[in-house]
Structure 1
Amino acid sequence: MLFYAKTEALRMLRNRRYIVFVVIFPVVLYLINANIYGKQTDGGGLRYSVVLMVSMGAYGALASSMMSSAVPWATERQSGWLRQLQITPLPSWMIIATKLGTAMLLVLPSLLLVAVVGVVQQGVSMPAGQWVPLLLAMWLGTIPFIALGLAIGSLLSADAAQPAAMISMFALAIAGGLWFPPEMFGDTMKTVADVMPSYHYASLGWSIVAGDGVAMTDVLVVAGWAVVLGGAAAYLYRRATVRA
């Protein structure tokens, strides 16, 4: 299992598109926006450089979750590699658990790099009592997006999975307020954001950096989406296995 996880992680880290769009792009977006708006503060006196650090970290983690699960899963299913894995001693649950664990491991580079840039370039400073729950919440909160990626990979071909994952990724980022505050687009957009897992995922981080702790509403919404999307991923995986 560990060898399989290591192989999966190394394969994604050698993917240039993964490095550019998932690791570097969120950092670039953060630097651009933080250097323009970073010194301003929100209604509670929190600097936008901190708010944007959470937003871009969430976007990078979301993108990493989906790109490291949807496309490889679809490619393996289409190439027959998944069928080969199913005749090995690895049980099906272990294959899925390894995919989940590998995808969560690959979330860390984009999440940590945005945080490091925030500290070094923008002077973001928080006590350990905020950094630890922030990074932990942002890491564990990616589970529903990984599940969505696995569902897409089980449903679509390798050629169709990549654009579908990218469209879903951008839609979640925009609807979840990771790029622009939903309030900028009126009450309708705010209503949409309130049911999006991406909004409540980022809100976990926003609440922590604001000193308000973890909001239980955000935890419940993210956990609920994890259950729903996890169930969809499991169903579509079983269906793809039967068809194969």
Structure 2
Amino acid sequence: MNIVELKNVTKSFEESGQKRKILDNVNLAIQAGEFIILKGEMGAGKTTLINLILGLQIPESGTVRVFGYAPEQPESKLKLGLMLQKTRAPGNLKVEETINLIRSFYPKSYSTAELLTRSKLEQKRYSWASSDELSGGEERSLYFALAIAGNPEFLILDEPTTGLDPHARSRVLQQIRDFANEGKTILLVSHIESDADAISDLATRTLTLSHGKIQEVRTDNFEQLQQSISKFGGAYSRSEQPVVKPKNLFSMLLGQTKVELLKLIRQPIVLLSMLALYSVVALFPRNDPNALFYMTGLATINLLIVAIQTLSIQIATERKQGWVKLLRVTPLPAWIYLTSKVIIAFIVSFTGIILMFSLGIFKVGMSQPFFDWVILFFSLILGIVPFAIFGFVIGYTMDANSISLVSAFLIGLAVFSSGSIPLPGMPEWLQNLIPFSPFYHYAQIVMWAGHIQIAEFYNNYLAIHLEWLVWTTCVASFLAIWAYQRNRAIS
């Protein structure tokens, strides 16, 4: 059985109002042990072809299979490695930590020590992965190590030597040669003729994409491979090969969460600024009868900042760097990536709210029963869930600069539409729209939990408020799934 099979695959995109076929009824089979060089002019469809194989896009027509599975299935990614042309590891992670994270997603990965040795980065293991501490060649070696971390049978290399000097280029090509000599299957995308010439002795076929079609040139290596297959049989059969299951999901979640925590701890200014917002309650006058109302309002705004702004900017930044794309072609489920960020946001929020409650009790003199504090805490945290999910939508659909403006607008809208701050002269029709705002229902639940019964805007329709937040969560979840999958949608 072939490692990769494309049958009658067509993919089009809208260009200047017209539909342009990037791939036109393409058929391609890649056998185990092949070394294929993929060429083509800029815009010929090389990236589209790779994205289809990786499951990042879906074909307009036809089928794609990787190891016998649809490319979006986790099983197709267990023996696959990818080296992107442009990617960047998250800030505040060291080389060793970055390698260890990626290898932890695979059931039969190389050890971190072996990957450092293969990539010749032993002396750089404690260097920052995204910094000037790595030269261009060392940075590409790092991403080669990430590509082979899972001990893949099939390796895709997208322009692996772009932008490198001759020495660094030679280093990367030697690493590719060493891996190919182990009998692995490799698909190399390159527009650099000297690269193709340097490893032409390994190639079984050269494929050229032009006008939506693939032109194929076979080498003597291809004929030798066919003879080997005829003699010993195919190397892969889905019915014969044992299905390798992904590593324990809890272990994946633990590893990803640890990395998110490291990134946060190594940004003390960001962490302290987030906690400082909660400590503003210390400025409240002692025994102020409205202190609880102001404190819950401040807590709500801080939680909205974390949910709508902080989370979405993190995702947008990692998406722009290519890190999210790299994670999507590993066995790591998307929900683990997102859940790890929610856990860290929860830890920060938990710490901030406990700090706020403590200041309220000991500095401002608030006296609420312990159980009431618990109810208020969970109302604040659980009520923010739909807005955190919506933060994912923003992160997957906007760039970081736009998010800063949009989130500021949304937080202002939240304060206005919560109904907690009466605005004199507000038209009646606008007042009638406020009960349709999910922020209004969140505020009502928080006021119920805190026994803040201010006659101007509090009511006792708790069940209705809960139903609204459940409905909002469902809508936000649907939008989050759409946002995550939108790159795979048919243009």
Larger radius of gyration: 2
Q: Which moved more, 1:70-79 or 1:83-92?
A: 83-92
Q: Which moved more, 1:92-101 or 1:51-60?
A: 92-101
Correspondence 1:23-38 to 2 at 5 A = 23-28=275-280, 30-31=281-282, 34-35=284-285
Correspondence 1:89-104 to 2 at 5 A = 89-104=331-346
Q: Is 1:74–1:154's contact at 8 Å kept on the other side of the alignment?
A: yes
In the alignment, the residues of structure 2 paired with residue 211 and residue 164 of structure 1 have an alpha-carbon distance, to the nearest angstrom, of 30
Deviations 1:182-211 (A, max 9, x none): 365644554343222222212212112218
Q: 1:169 to 1:231 in 2, by over 3 A?
A: same
Which residue matches 1:202? 443
- Listed as ranges, the gaps of 5+ residues in structure 1 are 40-46
Q: Is 1:154–1:240's contact at 8 Å kept on the other side of the alignment?
A: no
1:181 maps to 2:406: no
By how many angstroms is 1:238 displaced?
Answer: 0.8
Other structure's SS at 2:338 match? helix
1:220 maps to 2:457: no
Larger fraction in helix: 1
By how many angstroms is 1:150 displaced?
Answer: 0.7
Which residue matches 1:43? none
Q: Is 1:103–1:146's contact at 8 Å kept on the other side of the alignment?
A: no
**TM-score, normalised by the number of residues in structure 1:** 0.81
Deviations 1:196-227 (A, max 9, x none): 22222122121122188992222111221111
Q: Is 2:278–2:355's contact at 8 Å kept on the other side of the alignment?
A: no
Q: Is 2:308–2:387's contact at 8 Å kept on the other side of the alignment?
A: yes
Aligned residue among 12, 16, 24 for 2:269: 16
Q: Is 1:203–1:218's contact at 8 Å kept on the other side of the alignment?
A: yes
In the alignment, the residues of structure 2 paired with residue 175 and residue 165 of structure 1 have an alpha-carbon distance, to the nearest angstrom, of 15
In percent, how many aligned pairs have the same letter?
A: 21
Correspondence 1:72-151 to 2 at 5 A = 72-151=314-393
Which residue matches 1:235? 482
Q: Is 1:74–1:156's contact at 8 Å kept on the other side of the alignment?
A: yes
In the alignment, the residues of structure 2 paired with residue 17 and residue 107 of structure 1 have an alpha-carbon distance, to the nearest angstrom, of 13
Calculate the aligned-residue CA RMSD, in Å.
2.7
1:69 maps to 2:321: no
Other structure's SS at 2:332 match? coil
Q: Is 1:176–1:199's contact at 8 Å kept on the other side of the alignment?
A: yes
Ranked by relative contact order (alpha carbons within 8 Å, sequence separation 6 or more), the top structure is: 1
Deviations 1:33-86 (A, max 9, x none): x439x63xxxxxxx3111112111111111111233100010111111011112
- Listed as ranges, the gaps of 5+ residues in structure 2 are 1-252, 454-459
Q: 1:192 to 1:101 in 2, by over 3 A?
A: farther
Q: Is 2:415–2:421's contact at 8 Å kept on the other side of the alignment?
A: no
Q: 1:227 to 1:56 in 2, by over 3 A?
A: same
Other structure's SS at 1:122 match? coil
Other structure's SS at 2:285 match? helix
Other structure's SS at 2:465 match? helix
Amino acid at match of 1:193: I
By how many angstroms is 1:152 displaced?
Answer: 0.6
Aligned residue among 389, 396, 412 for 1:154: 396
Other structure's SS at 2:363 match? helix
Q: Is 2:393–2:479's contact at 8 Å kept on the other side of the alignment?
A: yes
Amino acid at match of 2:269: R
By how many angstroms is 1:175 displaced?
Answer: 2.4
By how many angstroms is 1:154 displaced?
Answer: 0.6
Other structure's SS at 2:368 match? coil
Count of residues paired in the alignment = 230
Which residue matches 2:259? 7
Larger fraction in strand: 2
In the alignment, the residues of structure 2 paired with residue 184 and residue 123 of structure 1 have an alpha-carbon distance, to the nearest angstrom, of 32
By how many angstroms is 1:229 displaced?
Answer: 1.4
Amino acid at match of 2:323: W
